[in-house]
């Protein structure tokens, strides 16, 4: 029984999806104005691991993660690069896809973009105006924060505490607001910037509105899980709740999940572009194995901070190699494995016992640190079993399958000379999703990988079939 730490209640709660066997999950994606650093990538990898584990437990996960392709930072980048804002977005969406593919992050079921949802955004804002939750002011539209009862419930801040901070703000925008706490839903156009027509004049959406629009449009008024980095808890996610629940009258998300920061240096300073202390995935994967980076990131419980350093990366590489050695040791014995019915039941029970422990640990708020400890125990089991004089075909295949399944949850794939059927099916599923997202480079990469392993794919109207070469 899966338990999730819900930021909204500050407690672990038993996970009960809205629809049995299915999960509606929205995770805030990147603002695409530059290459992602490993702090950004931590969120992608953490929620990919959570998604993979939910699928391992039998859930069908509808996973939506947006691209913010309209933003002040994108506009500034466009000016610096001498290209348009859409061209900046296209360039760095492609870079994001390349980087996350190398980290074995599965493409989302859907990656919606702000620019593709302008009519939906305008309709959403107009509804808030009609309900009295928003107002116009010289071409801008603002949300009346005080009108929403319970504002601050996610970040556990009172309206009085927020008012003290907001009252310190100055500038033109403050003069346009009825209250310093109000936030922008629509920003009037500035000369030379990208804009869209609206009932309130040319402009572009505020940051917070996009996720409310895309989450409710593609997943429904109430979703199961909403995720993102801890830095989004306030104000972004707080504002999403206010907007969404004011419009629909329904609870926006049942479970709120936030991943911890990546820190760097002796002072454990948060990694960020604004502080200039970041390491981009684009550059790092030129120096280290992407699987090592994924293993390093994915095997810490998602809410915990991760301290990045060359030392911790090297430790991750050593540990990953130990797991790979265990996999290869037993894979090598497959060729001389035999039917050993007299020992199968005992060994299969040992594997089942380990599986029960793994599930127990991961069911506890996706505790990857404890889960990977059980994976290490299975690796030790593989090593000991591979040293036996005779190994069982049934036990060997089951052990390798279980080991591969668990590692795939963390985004780690070791391919034996002869791929297991489950390995092939998983790669085909990833290829199908890549094609759906029009990521043809990744689709071709998977096809070529399978071809090199002697697997031929046939795309038919009924789906993708595969066969082993003679």
Closest-CA residue to 408 (of 39, 29, 38, 48): 48
Q: Is 236 flagged in the annotation as binding?
A: yes
| Residue 273 annotated as part of some ligand binding site | yes
In degrees rounded to 5, what are phi and psi of residue 266? -65, -25
CB-based contacts of 102, cutoff 8 Å, min separation 6: 281, 285, 290
Q: Smallest Cα–Cα separation from 7: which of 303, 360, 250?
A: 303
Is 324 marked within a binding site? no
How would you label 398-430 residue by residue, b for 16+ Cβ within 10 Å and e otherwise? bbbebbbbbbbbbbbebbbeebbeebbebbbeb
- Between CA 61 and CA 17 the distance in angstroms is 11
Binding residues for ATP: 273
Binding residues: 28, 211, 236, 240, 273
Binding residues for Zn(2+): 28, 211, 236, 240
């Amino acid at each position: 029984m899966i338990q999730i730490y819900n930021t909204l209640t500050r407690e672990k709660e038993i996970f009960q999806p809205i629809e049995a066997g299915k999960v509606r999950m929205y995770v805030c994606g990147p603002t695409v104005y530059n290459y992602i650093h490993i702090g950004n990538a931590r969120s992608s990898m953490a929620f990919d691991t959570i998604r993979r584990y939910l699928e391992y437990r039998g859930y069908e996960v509808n996973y939506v993660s947006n691209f913010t392709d309209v933003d002040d930072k994108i506009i500034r980048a466009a000016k610096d690069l001498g290209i348009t804002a859409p061209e900046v977005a296209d360039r760095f969406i492609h870079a994001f896809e390349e980087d996350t593919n190398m980290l074995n992050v599965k493409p989302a079921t859907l990656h919606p973009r702000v620019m593709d949802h302008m009519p939906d955004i305008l309709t959403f804002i107009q509804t808030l105006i009609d309900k009295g939750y928003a107002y116009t002011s010289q071409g801008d539209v603002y949300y009346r924060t005080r009108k929403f009862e319970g504002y601050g419930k996610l970040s556990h801040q009172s309206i009085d505490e927020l008012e003290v901070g907001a009252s310190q703000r100055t500038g033109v925008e403050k003069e346009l607001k009825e209250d310093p706490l109000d936030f922008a839903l629509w920003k009037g156009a500035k000369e030379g910037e990208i804009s869209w027509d609206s009932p309130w004049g040319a402009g572009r959406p505020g940051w917070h509105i996009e996720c409310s629009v895309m989450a409710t449009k593609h997943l429904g008024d109430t979703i199961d899980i909403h995720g993102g980095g801890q830095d989004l808890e306030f104000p972004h996610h707080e504002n999403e709740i206010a907007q969404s629940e004011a419009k629909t009258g329904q609870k926006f998300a049942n479970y709120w999940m936030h991943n911890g920061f990546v820190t760097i240096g002796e002072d454990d300073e948060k990694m960020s572009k604004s502080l200039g202390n970041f390491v981009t995935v684009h550059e790092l994967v030129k120096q280290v194995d992407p699987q090592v980076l994924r293993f390093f990131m994915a095997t810490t419980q998602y809410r915990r901070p991760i301290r990045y350093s060359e030392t911790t990366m090297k430790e991750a590489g050593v540990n990953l190699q130990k797991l790979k050695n265990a996999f290869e040791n037993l894979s090598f014995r497959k060729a001389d494995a035999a039917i050993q019915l007299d020992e199968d039941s005992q060994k299969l029970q040992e594997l089942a016992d380990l599986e029960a422990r793994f599930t127990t640990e991961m069911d506890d708020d996706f505790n990857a640190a404890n889960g990977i400890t059980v994976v290490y125990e299975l690796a030790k089991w593989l090593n000991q079993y591979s040293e036996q004089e005779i190994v069982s075909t049934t036990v060997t295949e089951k052990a390798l399958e279980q080991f591969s399944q668990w590692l795939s949850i963390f985004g780690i794939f070791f391919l034996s000379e002869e791929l297991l059927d489950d390995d092939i099916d998983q790669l085909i599923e990833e290829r199908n999703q890549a094609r759906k997202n029009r990521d043809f480079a990744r689709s071709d990469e998977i096809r070529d990988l399978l071809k090199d392993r002697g697997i031929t794919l046939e795309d038919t109207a009924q789906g993708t079939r595969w066969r082993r070469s003679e």
